[in-house]
Amino acid sequence: MKNFKQIISNLENLKYNLYQKDFLLTWEKTLDELKAVLGTAEALRYLYTNNISTRLFGSGLAISNFRDNSTRTRFSFASAANLLGLTIQDLDEGKSQIAHGETVRETANMISFLTEVIGIRDDIFLGAGNTYMREVGHALDDGFKQGVLHQRPNIVNLQCDIDHPTQAMADLLHLENYFGSLEKLKGKKIAMTWAYSPSYGKPLSVPQGIIGLMTRFGMNVSLAYPEGYNLIPDCIDVAKNNSKKYGGSFTVSHSMEEAFKDADIVYPKSWAPYAVMEKRTELLRANNHAALKDLERDCLNQNAKFKNWECDEEKMKLTKKGEALYMHCLPADITSVSCKEGEVTANVFEKYRIETYKEAGFKPFIIASMILTSRFKDPAKVLIDLMERKTKRVRI
């Protein structure tokens, strides 16, 4: 772990302004802003590890709005809110008045009277999740402007149809710690590949988030997927432009083996075919459940054609010195007795299991950093004050 004084020194040398701004897509932030989020997360992790309280809020809510199932991100958001002294409150849309005609504008204002941050996961509808978050943001802007809200809460994207910024940033912080620094990531090859899964309909936002972020740090990003499993074209353009601007490279292939060759990091992850996600959105909006079942069956049949897209010992031997770092956002579909085919074999996953858990462990601090940097004008000063105060946390 880095020295606290060095973390603060690095923060003070950055030019960034995240105050009162939402965090929706990593590529909307400057490089210094991304580094500020990483540095603030590292400082919070240092304080927590050294049993120093980081409770900055005496009161206030952190609204948790999950429109899709979640374990890691849900509990990471709750952990981050608690770390800073906020009270977590789940918005259960099934128990709200949304089904009775309550509008997005009305919901956004009614949940925000004493709220500091709203975390939203909406990754089901392709072309809708990020749009929904921005609609909530516009409603908050209007509520604050009209004097309805005393303050305008900030929004943190906990996964949408386009990006999964808290996951991608946690992955980047994991890589920074694993290899020693952000500078040491330059020239490293990361293989972001599709992998077979017997499950259906996983979002595109994890691979899109990875290619959109890692190309900002001079990495050689190799994206691989079977024909038909392409990503949103705009996200591909983002990665291409980043590689030109920041160095490194970005390539696309249809071979897992080609992507794994000489890779320093591998990230085999299942996602649904792009055309299926488009059709799924259309059917969900039409509430056509019968057609959705047919689509799910067709998707699973299509997936089954690519069972060889599995991270196994032989493919890992293709990586640099056969010792590439395996990464996954979890849960991984592990090939075992209960699951005969999956994204990764049990032997490979077990070898890197602790590293994937550590990877996940950075997410609460990344989310807490996104909250802190959006609610306080001078994060470095806030962190210094916490360090000087040195209020001990109560631990059992």
Write the pLDDT tens digit of every residue in 175-192.
999 999 999 999 999 999
Residue 181's pLDDT is 97
Q: Would you say 166 and 387 are in contact if contact means Cβ atoms under 8 Å apart?
A: no
CA-closest candidate to residue 172, choices 341, 329, 354, 381:
329
134 within domain boundaries: yes
The kind and range of the H/E element at 251 are strand 249-253
**Burial zone of 305 (CB within 10 Å; 0-12 exposed, 13-18 middle, 19+ buried):** exposed
| Alpha-carbon span 314 to 178, nearest angstrom | 24
Q: Phi/psi zone of residue 205: left (φ > 0), alpha (ψ -120 to 50 degrees), beta?
A: alpha
Same domain, 206 and 141: no
Q: Would you say 76 and 364 are in contact if contact means Cβ atoms under 8 Å apart?
A: yes
User: At residue 172, what are phi and psi to the nearest 5 degrees?
Assistant: -65, -40
- Give the global pTM: 0.96
Give pLDDT < 70 ranges for the chain: 99-100, 337-340, 393-396
- Indicate the number of domains in the chain: 2
Domain with residue 141: its CATH number is 3.40.50.1370
Residue 396's pLDDT is 47
Structure tokens at 129: 């999740």
Same domain, 175 and 241: yes
| Alpha-carbon span 242 to 351, nearest angstrom | 32
Same domain, 126 and 224: no
394 within domain boundaries: no
Residue 276's pLDDT is 87
| Helices of type H across the chain | 4-12, 31-49, 72-84, 104-110, 129-145, 165-179, 205-214, 233-246, 256-260, 274-285, 289-303, 313-316, 346-361, 363-375, 379-389
Same domain, 134 and 269: no
Any idea of the CA torsion for 268, 274, 280, 285, to the nearest 10 degrees?
120
User: At residue 86, what are phi and psi to the nearest 5 degrees?
Assistant: -90, 155
Give per-residue burial for 217-234: e unless 16+ CB within 10 Å, then b.
Answer: bbbbbbbbbbeebbbbee
| Alpha-carbon span 183 to 176, nearest angstrom | 8
Contacts of 370 (CB under 8 A, 6+ apart): 18, 23, 37, 156, 166
Same domain, 293 and 375: no
Same domain, 66 and 180: no
Same domain, 227 and 320: yes
Same domain, 218 and 309: yes
User: At residue 45, what are phi and psi to the nearest 5 degrees?
Assistant: -65, -40
Domain limits for position 348: 166-360
Same domain, 170 and 149: no
Q: Using alpha carbons only, what angle is made at residue 208 by residues 202 and 214, rounded to the nearest 5 degrees?
A: 135
396 within domain boundaries: no
218 within domain boundaries: yes
Residue with tokens 């990344």: 366
| Alpha-carbon span 271 to 201, nearest angstrom | 7
Same domain, 159 and 217: no
Same domain, 26 and 170: no
395 within domain boundaries: no
Same domain, 154 and 297: no
Structure tokens at 211: 């290619």
Q: How many Å is the Cα radius of gyration of the chain?
A: 21
